[in-house]
Amino acid sequence: MTARRDSYQSFLDMIGLSGEDIDPFEVLARTWGTRVTDRIQVLPVPKVDAAGRLRMRFLVHGGRHVD
């Protein structure tokens, strides 16, 4: 999504980003940047939290199919 769109700030809020210098690769990592023509997926690198657990954000596909 281009930063010129009126809804760009709402989009950033929705994916948990804020600030002036938004890294385009962080946006791709959080949204997966998927389009019908995409042939690759970009995922974030898991981070270790204070408790030593790996943490990362990811999108879930097919959730409506789970019983």
User: Domain segments of the chain: what residues?
Assistant: 8-65
Provide CB contacts within 8 A for 5, sequence distance 6+: 11
Nearest in space to 29 (alpha carbons), one of 56, 63, 66, 62 = 56
Query: Per-residue pLDDT for 48 more than 90?
Result: yes
Whole-angstrom CA distances from 11 to 30, 40, 48, 64, 66 are 11, 22, 26, 23, 27
* pLDDT (average), residues 18-26: 81
Q: What is the mean pLDDT of the chain?
A: 81
State the pTM of this model: 0.47
Q: What is the pLDDT of residue 44?
A: 76
pLDDT band for position 36 (cuts 50, 70, 90): low
